[in-house]
A = this chain, B = another copy of it.
Amino acid sequence: MKTPPRRMSKEEFEQLFQKVCNWGKWGPEDERGTLNYITPEHVRRAAGLVKSGRSVSLAIPINKTAGPDNPSPPAHYMVRNHDLAVPQGEPRFAVDYFASVFHGDCHTHMDALCHISYKGKLYNGKPAASVTSQGPTMLDVTAYAQGIVGRGVLLDIPKLRGVKWLEPGEAVTAEELEAAEKAQGVRLEQGDMLVFRTGHHRRRLELGPWDNNYEGEGKAGLHAGAMELLHERKVAVFLPDGDGETVPCNVEGMSFPVHALQVAAMGMCVADSLQFEELVQVVEEEKRQEFMVILAPLRLPRGTGSLFNPIAIF
């Protein structure tokens, strides 16, 4: 499996883009993309997976320390201790201030569909220029305002390979995803949320942060070709540690092919930089790779995404 998968030419990429493209599929004004795959029945079945009642976060605790994967850390300040009296003196309040640019390589967040453009187009063929300095005029994160509920399916690639984590630059192909399904006793079906583990955060916990972007050491992720499988299976949501990209890139002359395919072509609901280190413990104890998942990004009009805390329930 560790043999690096064949590189994809730019031409092959363009063909793949067309193949997985969902533009128009749910109407010209659709803003929900692959969430359309999730039916009420899927939600019901997901809720049916709740047995032990345990819930577990898939978010990295917010990291306020500058570092190679966090060059512009969030600002988090106390702006009020318990020192100030209210009208009648008591009780008193402690208050904080929090500010961030959350896109990037170490904060667990969702991407709105407006976040990615490819050749001047957003999902559904909408113009990139619809996103001005005043924010997106369509496809913002409020498309996800009512929450996203469904079945999460963990494919744990390091477990499949018998390693602690994938090394930067290693790509996971469709074949390997299918091997993981088989080995781990699950199958991706319509409306599912793919919980895709490369061990990125485990590596960070053990070795410390590194620059995982194109200028740096890179990261493990999906091979661009694997998007075909996700498309065929009608996967609704993609939840990776890392951000799904393999860096350096396995498409010639290109960067971020996975985002281009998932978000711009497929209209897929995706998140970046989750962590599954608490999840894998629970998965092992509960002896199952499937669980209910709830995603609840902030209702931020004109947001290009949102910090969030995805929750798995067993």
A residues neighboring B (CB under 8 Å): 39-44, 46-48, 50-57, 59-62, 64-67, 71-73, 75-84, 86-88, 90-103, 108, 114-120, 128-129, 131-136, 142, 145-149, 214-215, 249, 253-256, 259-260, 263-264, 278, 292, 294, 296-305, 307-311, 313
Contact = CB atoms under 8 A, between A and B. Distances in A.
B78 A101 contact: no
A97 B91 CA distance: 26
Given A53-B44, A299-B309, A255 B88 contact: yes
What are the 6 A-B residue pairs with the smallest beta carbon separation, nearest first?
A40-B53, A66-B66, A99-B99, A43-B53, A47-B50, A147-B311
A235 B100 CA distance: 34
Contact of A131 (B60, B94, B215, B298): B94
Contact of A103 (B71, B95, B249): B95
B57 A41 contact: no
B298 A96 contact: no
Contacts of A92: 116-118, 128
Most chain B beta-carbon neighbours within 10 Å: one of A41, A60, A297: A297
